[in-house]
């Protein structure tokens, strides 16, 4: 007991002086002593200076002048970074700089390093001249690194396209004793939302992005992806306040309720700062969770979120809103290798509470539900997702069907070559578009069956000539469609969600009214990947995620991401893209990729509304206006393939495949035979 009290008293005494203030005092004294020693060397420091100069010259010889230089270096190092650990390391490093320098002087210039130099220079008796010189130089370089706490790095720009992504990592305060001022002394690592640097390399980035399509796909693609320069990549840093004071408030508040805790590391995210703590053994986590409002009152902020426990750690996390949050720019994440070197349907979600970038893959999800109240960032999330896919995929790789009952959100994408049809704004046409997706799914399953492939990935690897593109269907407002055509919309969405994954058809569904009438049990059961933005109540959060939490979000893209990859929802600050940036990207794509948009879907939609059975609404389209033109192309080429018709007729894969099916049904061409073109049975008279 007495030892414990002695340790606590000693700890309190050590905390009387701020660690940074302690380092500053030593830095000032080091600078002053360096000046006095310099004056002593020039015999301008009085009698005491003369004595001091004489003694030190005897000890160090000509190395006397290294002493003020070393003290000056220590002073500079302490002024630039001053914590307790850095303080000790800096002083030790300065000492070894001086000693190794004296050893080098004595080895190179015999008997010029004073008594201390003679002692250190005696190493050459055991190692010889060269080896002892190398050893002293090694100690000198290592001591300089320790003194300035600056690791040697060979810049990665010499070998890689981008600079180190480690610059983006958040500050991690592993001891409560460290202060926010200490962390803010290094702005390069304080901001977790600091986007990737290397602006002079933008041009090479854009060039690499354009060339990546050729490297990623075996077929020829003339698609010109938009440059990253169209998107902003920089953003402001978050303002977090006094981290140590907040940590102490949390600890004292919990202790006042009889919950002793040990504070852990602190991580700063774009919108929130997470304080971690470890409760005493035997303490129920429910007691900590129940103090949510008390902690919010003590910290004078709202809302706070308690994650107990943090997945994969024996810690409890308390997420406190930053005083001023930072924006996660989409352009800052599109240059990460996790995006550029990944699958076709990869897109950035944002940054988590530690500031680390999070990416999602629509091919693995395989469908996504986005829900949140008005103004929570739902539309911006959809725009960021679509823009990411447009940066990564050509029309030959991915096609889009955009359903926008609100009429104004997705109309900006009108005219891009990825669209199978114009943006759908009518509810009845939306039903037809979903039926088209079901029919296309079944047709693709037949193609996969004949090819002996399990999914679209293996099919495209096997038959690179007849590439089957991904089809992404985006529904911006499900609630409006469900209110008018609930049964039809739910049936189509559920059927696509159940079966479409293997065929490369993916759904992105969003709604601003998270009620059980809109997000039904069947829809939730078949769309396990969900994004919950800020909602009004805990009931709405449970409707989306089957658990509470979304009602405590901050809005503006603050989200909870639920996926099969995570045991619990992950808090993420979503990416942000402005309307101006979206328009620039779309205009660039339309200007540099003049491809006619296929209108076959609109015709199929009109016909689908007249049929009740989803299976036969696209059957017997022998009267396709391009059928005769397709016959001429096949006859001249002497072979038949979907890619041939796509190139010559400037149509999409779906329509080209239908034309081939019509020809095969009429006996004009043979069946598909692996990657080989189909046989043509037409003669000159046909």
Residue 217 has which token pair?
């796909």
Residues making up the annotated binding site for ATP are: 372-379
Homologous superfamily (CATH) of 330-591 is P-loop containing nucleotide triphosphate hydrolases (3.40.50.300)
What gap in Å lies between CA 56 and CA 266, rounded to an integer? 47
Q: What is the pLDDT of residue 190?
A: 33
Q: What is the architecture, at CATH level 2, of domain 619-686?
A: Orthogonal Bundle (1.10)
What gap in Å lies between CA 183 and CA 189, rounded to an integer? 8
What gap in Å lies between CA 183 and CA 387, rounded to an integer? 35
- Dihedral sign, CA of 198, 202, 207, 211? positive
So where are the chain's domains? 19-152, 243-321, 330-591, 619-686
Q: What is the pLDDT of residue 615?
A: 38
- Residue 345 CB contacts under 8 Å (≥ 6 apart), including other chains: 361, 362, 363, 389, 392, 393, 398, 470, 472, 506
| Degrees, nearest 5: CA angle 413-417-421 | 70
CB atoms within 10 A of CB 171: 25
Question: Is CATH 2.30.30.790 what the domain over 243-321 is classified as, yes or no?
Answer: no
For the whole prediction, is pTM greater than 0.85? Answer: no
Q: What is the pLDDT of residue 605?
A: 54
What gap in Å lies between CA 305 and CA 310, rounded to an integer? 12
Q: Where are the beta strands (DSSP E) in 297-391?
A: 305-307, 316-321, 346-352, 357-361, 368-371
User: Mean pLDDT, 10 residues at a time, over the chain (686 residues)?
Assistant: 48 54 76 80 77 76 74 75 57 75 74 70 72 78 74 46 38 38 33 39 44 49 85 80 88 91 90 91 89 91 89 90 89 88 90 90 92 89 94 90 90 90 87 89 91 89 84 90 84 90 92 83 87 90 88 90 86 92 93 64 53 40 67 85 83 80 81 73 62
CB atoms within 10 A of CB 182: 22
Contact by Cβ (8 Å): 64, 117: no
Distances (CA, A) of 399 to 152, 372, 586: 48, 26, 15
Contact by Cβ (8 Å): 389, 469: no
- Choose among 604, 635, 637, 605: nearest CA to 621: 604
Residue 665 has which token pair?
């049904």
Residues making up the annotated binding site are: 372-379
- Residue 584 CB contacts under 8 Å (≥ 6 apart), including other chains: 226, 230
| Degrees, nearest 5: CA angle 34-15-95 | 30
Distances (CA, A) of 427 to 14, 207, 340, 422, 608: 71, 41, 36, 14, 13
What gap in Å lies between CA 344 and CA 361, rounded to an integer? 8
Contact by Cβ (8 Å): 267, 170: yes
- Residue 104 CB contacts under 8 Å (≥ 6 apart), including other chains: 133, 136, 137, 140
CB atoms within 10 A of CB 638: 10
Same fold? 243-321, 619-686: no
CB atoms within 10 A of CB 212: 14
Residue 161: in which H helix or E strand, if any? none
Q: What is the pLDDT of residue 249?
A: 92
Q: What is the pLDDT of residue 151?
A: 62
Residue 220 has which token pair?
């020829």
- Choose among 329, 201, 192: nearest CA to 268: 192
């Amino acid at each position: 007991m007495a030892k414990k009290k002695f340790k606590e008293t000693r700890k309190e005494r050590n905390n009387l002086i701020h660690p940074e203030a302690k380092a500053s005092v030593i830095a000032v004294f080091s600078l002053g002593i360096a000046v006095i020693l310099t004056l002593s060397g020039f015999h301008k420091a009085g009698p005491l200076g003369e004595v001091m100069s004489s003694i030190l010259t005897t000890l160090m010889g000509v190395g006397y002048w290294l002493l003020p230089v070393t003290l000056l270096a220590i002073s500079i190092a302490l002024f630039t970074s001053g914590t307790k650990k850095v303080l000790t390391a800096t002083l030790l490093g300065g000492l070894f700089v001086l000693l190794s320098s004296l050893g080098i002087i004595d080895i190179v210039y015999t008997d010029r390093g004073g008594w201390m130099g003679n002692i250190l220079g005696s190493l050459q008796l055991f190692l010889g001249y060269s080896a002892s010189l190398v050893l002293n130089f090694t100690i000198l370089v290592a001591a300089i690194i320790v003194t300035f706490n600056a690791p040697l790095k060979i810049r990665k720009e010499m070998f890689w396209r981008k600079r180190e992504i480690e610059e983006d990592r958040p500050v991690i305060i592993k001891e409560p004793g460290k202060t926010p001022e200490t962390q803010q002394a290094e702005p390069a690592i304080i901001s977790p939302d600091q986007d990737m640097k290397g602006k002079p390399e933008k041009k090479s980035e854009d060039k690499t992005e354009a060339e990546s399509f050729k490297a990623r796909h075996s077929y020829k693609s003339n698609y010109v992806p938009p440059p990253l320069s169209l998107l902003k990549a920089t953003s402001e840093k978050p303002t977090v306040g006094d981290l140590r004071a907040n940590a102490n408030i949390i600890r004292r508040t919990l202790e006042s309720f009889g919950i002793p805790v040990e504070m852990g590391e602190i991580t700063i995210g774009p919108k929130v700062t997470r304080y971690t703590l470890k409760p005493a053994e035997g303490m129920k986590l429910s007691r900590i969770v129940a103090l949510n409002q008390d902690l919010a009152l003590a910290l004078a902020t709202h809302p706070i979120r308690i994650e107990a426990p943090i997945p994969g750690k024996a810690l409890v996390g308390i997420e406190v809103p930053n005083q001023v949050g930072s924006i996660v720019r989409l352009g800052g994440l599109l240059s990460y290798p996790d995006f550029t070197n990944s699958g076709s349907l990869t897109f950035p979600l944002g940054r988590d509470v530690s500031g680390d970038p999070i990416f999602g893959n629509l091919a693995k999800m395989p469908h996504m539900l986005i829900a949140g109240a008005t103004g929570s960032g739902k539309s911006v999330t959809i725009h960021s997702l679509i823009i990411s896919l447009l940066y990564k995929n050509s029309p030959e790789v991915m096609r889009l069907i955009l359903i926008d009952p609100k009429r104004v959100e997705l109309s900006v994408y009108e005219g891009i070559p990825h669209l199978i049809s114009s943006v759908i704004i009518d509810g009845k046409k939306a039903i037809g578009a979903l039926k088209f997706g079901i029919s296309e799914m079944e047709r693709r399953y037949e193609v996969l069956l004949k090819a002996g492939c399990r999914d679209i990935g293996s099919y495209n690897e096997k038959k690179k000539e007849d590439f089957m593109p991904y089809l992404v269907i985006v529904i911006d407002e499900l609630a409006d469609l469900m209110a008018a055509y609930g049964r039809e919309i739910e049936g189509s969405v559920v059927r696509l969600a159940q079966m479409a994954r293997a065929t490369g058809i993916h759904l992105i569904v969003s709604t601003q009214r998270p009620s059980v009438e809109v997000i039904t049990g069947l829809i939730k059961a078949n769309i396990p990947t969900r994004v919950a933005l800020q909602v009004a109540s805990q009931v709405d959060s449970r409707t989306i995620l089957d658990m509470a939490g979304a009602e405590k979000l901050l809005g503006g893209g603050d989200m909870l991401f639920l996926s099969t990859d995570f045991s619990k929802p992950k808090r993420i600050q979503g990416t942000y893209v402005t309307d101006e940036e979206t328009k620039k990207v779309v205009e660039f794509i339309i200007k540099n990729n003049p491809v006619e948009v296929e209108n076959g879907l609109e015709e199929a939609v009109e016909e689908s509304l007249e049929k009740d059975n989803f299976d036969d609404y696209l059957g017997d389209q022998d009267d396709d206006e391009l059928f005769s033109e397709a016959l001429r192309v096949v006859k001249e080429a002497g072979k038949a393939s979907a890619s041939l018709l796509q190139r010559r007729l400037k149509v999409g894969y779906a329509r080209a495949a239908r034309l081939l099916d019509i020809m095969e049904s009429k006996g004009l061409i043979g069946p598909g035979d692996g990657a080989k073109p189909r046989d043509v049975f037409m003669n000159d008279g046909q």
